[in-house]
């Protein structure tokens, strides 16, 4: 639009005035085409050509700019045989890890041309062919993929991220720190952290520390921490800090790990209108913001007692296990305070504090909406299981589940598909069954309510132990009896065995969840009492036996 000459632009505007209304017709006849040709001073064939360009283009003036001749610039004047030889030699000799010079490549061109009886091109011709190659492709072929990153943008042409929670990057890593258990205060290994950062404000919006390796559950827990108000979480930790950065993200940007491609995560994001975007393969710098956050976080962790540093060479003879003093809960407290401190420091890219940028975004577009029901939100991101409903409810991994809420569906179970079930791996004492109409989840507990809460890892270990004992058939009673035996063994060995202490610490999370679970509501009052609303009266006559 700006590079066209004034004369060419005037011609295009005049053409648009005539061709634009003509293109709105479903069919342009010969008479209409001749009238347009007379107005523009061109032939009928040219009118139809302009109509085609207008319809295939964007319907703007630049679609009808007159063409210009380059005088043959950009076209090769070499014979096809010589052009093919140049491409062949450049591909084999120049685009290789041996990184031959232009002079060496030209000598090979001269030798090949003389052998084949072809005219030898000038050296400048070869230089122009090399200069016309894609610089990124040249560096990749001659120096490798790592060296080509400097020639590529971090995201091609990424959209400008300005709104709060418009894009949240998420990733996890093993923490460079040995932690201790709550009971014996002895080392149990390194935990894992899953973190989420808002790209627009650079605020940390989600943080979860677990003893389990990264999984779909870790991602779900981090999303819950991101979307819910953090004041209750800070109170449970006993931390006096301000962390107002919460809300449901519009998009999460993750890498291509298996836990980020689970059905639970995809369906949960679809349910809550959260877009899921993956980094291009082989380009880790696309997630540079979260990678930098994790790197900064680990640098701070290196100042804590019990750190493992980044590698054995950096650690030297420092005894990480002997120096470990922090439990997982205490690490959570320290991280909460570290994040609060980070939010108050001026960010190099923003030229302001992340907290200040967040409040600026809140003032411009309002505070992001948070999720009130933490458990209900988490359920949508729990692992998915599909089972058929029977008269006794559901059976998952040798454990039976039943609730009176299932009774209306049992009568027509033969006409229903398999139910979509959700289960928290940390506590399998209850599951959530999706209504066949897809409206809501129904909580379904153990069929035998006296069973203790256990984790899916304990369940699998118990089944494996029963198989080792030669049990072909595993029943629920034997399963829970084996879990109890394994817990007793683990508790006894916890004083001496690091792995046992870690298992006990993982199990304590299940106990805490069971203790903090809401109690069932009291039974509703009788219909008569509800209607009368009066105190019960004593019997007038009591029969003697």
Environment class of 56 (CB within 10 Å of its CB; exposed 0-12, middle 13-18, buried 19+): exposed
CA pair distance 86, 91, nearest whole angstrom? 8
Read off the tokens for 409: 């569906």
List pLDDT tens digits, range 165-203.
999 999 999 999 999 988 888 888 899 999 999 999 999
pLDDT recorded at residue 149: 65
**DSSP reduced 3-state for 193:** strand
In angstroms, the CA 329 to CA 294 distance is 19
Report pLDDT for 421: 92
**Residues of the chain with confidence (pLDDT) below 50:** 155, 157-158, 514, 518-532, 539, 541-545
How many angstroms separate the CA atoms of 121 and 113, rounded? 9
| DSSP state letter for 411 | T
Provide the 8-state DSSP code for 414. G
Enter the tokens of residue 220: 């779900």
Cβ atoms < 10 Å from Cβ of 453: 19
Q: What is the DSSP string of 118-187?
A: -PPPPHHHHHHHHHTS-HHHHHHHHH-HHHHGGGS-SSSSPPP--STTSSEEEEEEE-SB-EE-TTT--E
Identify the DSSP state of 191. Answer: -
> From CA 527, how far away is CA 545, in angstroms rounded?
30
Distances in Å between the alpha carbon of 206 and those of 137, 341, 406, 481? 39, 15, 36, 38
Distance between CA atoms of residues 440 and 422, nearest Å: 12
The pLDDT assigned to 510 comes to 54
Residues with Cβ within 8 Å of residue 452, at least 6 apart in sequence: 429, 480, 483, 484
Residues 354/342, Cβ–Cβ less than 8 Å: yes
DSSP summary character for residue 204? E
Q: Residue 55 and residue 23: Cα distance in Å, rounded?
A: 7
Look at residue 539 in the predicted model and tell me its pLDDT: 47
Other C-beta atoms closer than 10 Å to the C-beta of 139 total 18
Please work out, in degrees rounded to the nearest 5, the angle formed at the alpha carbon of residue 71 by the alpha carbons of 68 and 75: 110
Q: Which pLDDT score is estimated for 64?
A: 81
The pLDDT of residue 74: 54
Order of strands across the sheet with 384-387? 384-387, 419-424, 427-434, 441-445
Residue 323 CB partners (closer than 8 Å, separation 6+): 178, 305, 306, 307
Sign of the CA dihedral running 291, 503, 324, 497: negative
| 306 secondary structure, DSSP code | T
- The dihedrals phi and psi of 183, each to the nearest 5 degrees, come to -90, -55
Do β-strands 251-254 and 168-174 pair in parallel, antiparallel, or remain unpaired? Answer: parallel
Q: Are strands 251-254 and 275-278 parallel, antiparallel or unpaired?
A: parallel
Residues 254, 276 contacting (CB under 8 angstroms):
yes
3-state secondary structure of 420: strand
Q: Taking Cα atoms as reference points, which of 77, 90, 11 lies closest to residue 50?
A: 11
Per-residue model confidence (pLDDT) at position 75: 60
Instruction: Give the pTM.
Output: 0.62
For position 545, what pLDDT does the model report?
40
Query: How buried is residue 533: exposed, middle or buried, by Cβ count under 10 Å (0-12/13-18/19+)?
Result: exposed
The secondary structure of 53-64 as a DSSP string is HHHHTTSSGGGG
């Amino acid at each position: 639009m700006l590079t066209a000459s004034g004369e060419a632009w005037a011609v295009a505007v005049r053409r648009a005035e005539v061709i634009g209304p003509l293109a709105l017709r479903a069919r342009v006849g010969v008479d209409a085409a001749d009238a347009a040709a007379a107005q523009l001073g061109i032939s009928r064939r040219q009118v139809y050509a302009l109509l085609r360009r207008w319809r295939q283009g964007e319907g703007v003036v630049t679609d009808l700019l007159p063409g210009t001749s380059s005088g043959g610039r950009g076209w090769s004047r070499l014979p096809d045989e010589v052009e093919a030889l140049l491409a062949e030699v450049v591909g084999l000799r120049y685009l290789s890890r041996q990184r031959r010079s232009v002079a060496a490549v030209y000598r090979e061109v001269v030798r090949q041309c003389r052998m084949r009886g072809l005219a030898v091109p000038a050296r400048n011709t070869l230089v122009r062919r090399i200069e016309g190659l894609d610089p990124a492709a040249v560096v990749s072929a001659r120096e490798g993929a790592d060296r080509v990153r400097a020639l590529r943008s971090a995201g091609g042409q990424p959209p400008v991220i300005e709104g709060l929670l418009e894009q949240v990057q998420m990733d996890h890593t093993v923490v460079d720190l040995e932690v201790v258990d709550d009971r014996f205060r002895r080392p149990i290994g390194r935990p894992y952290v899953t973190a989420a950062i808002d790209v627009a404000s650079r605020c940390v919006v989600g943080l979860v520390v677990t003893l389990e390796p990264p999984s779909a559950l870790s991602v779900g827990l981090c999303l819950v921490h991101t979307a819910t108000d953090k004041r209750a979480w800070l109170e449970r930790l006993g931390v006096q800090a301000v962390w107002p950065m919460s809300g449901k993200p519009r998009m999460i940007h993750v890498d291509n790990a298996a836990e980020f491609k689970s059905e639970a995560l995809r369906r949960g994001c679809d349910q809550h209108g959260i877009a899921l975007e993956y980094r291009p393969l082989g380009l880790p710098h696309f997630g540079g913001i979260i990678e930098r956050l994790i790197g900064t976080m680990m640098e701070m962790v290196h100042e804590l007692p019990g750190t493992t540093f980044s590698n054995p060479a950096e650690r030297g003879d420092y005894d990480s296990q002997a120096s470990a003093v922090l439990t997982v809960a205490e690490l959570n407290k320290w991280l909460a305070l570290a994040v609060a401190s980070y939010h108050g420091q001026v960010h190099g890219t923003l030229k302001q504090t992340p907290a200040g940028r967040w409040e600026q975004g809140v003032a411009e577009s309002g505070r992001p909406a948070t999720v009130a029901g933490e458990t209900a939100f988490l359920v949508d991101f729990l692992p998915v299981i599909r089972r058929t409903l029977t008269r006794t409810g559901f059976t998952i991994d040798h454990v039976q589940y039943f609730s009176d809420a299932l009774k209306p569906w049992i009568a027509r179970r033969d006409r229903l598909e398999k139910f979509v079930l959700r289960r928290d791996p940390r506590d399998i004492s209850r599951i959530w069954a999706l209504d066949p109409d897809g409206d809501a989840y129904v909580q379904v507990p153990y069929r035998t309510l006296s069973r203790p809460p256990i984790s899916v890892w304990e369940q699998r270990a118990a089944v494996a132990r029963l198989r080792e004992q030669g049990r072909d058939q595993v029943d629920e009673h034997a399963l829970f009896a084996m879990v109890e035996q394994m817990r007793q063994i683990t508790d006894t060995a916890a004083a001496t065995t690091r792995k046992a202490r870690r298992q006990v610490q993982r199990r304590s999370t299940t106990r805490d969840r069971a203790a903090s679970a809401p109690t069932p509501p009291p039974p509703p009052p009788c219909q008569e009492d509800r209607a009368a609303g009066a105190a019960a009266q004593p019997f007038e006559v009591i029969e003697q036996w």
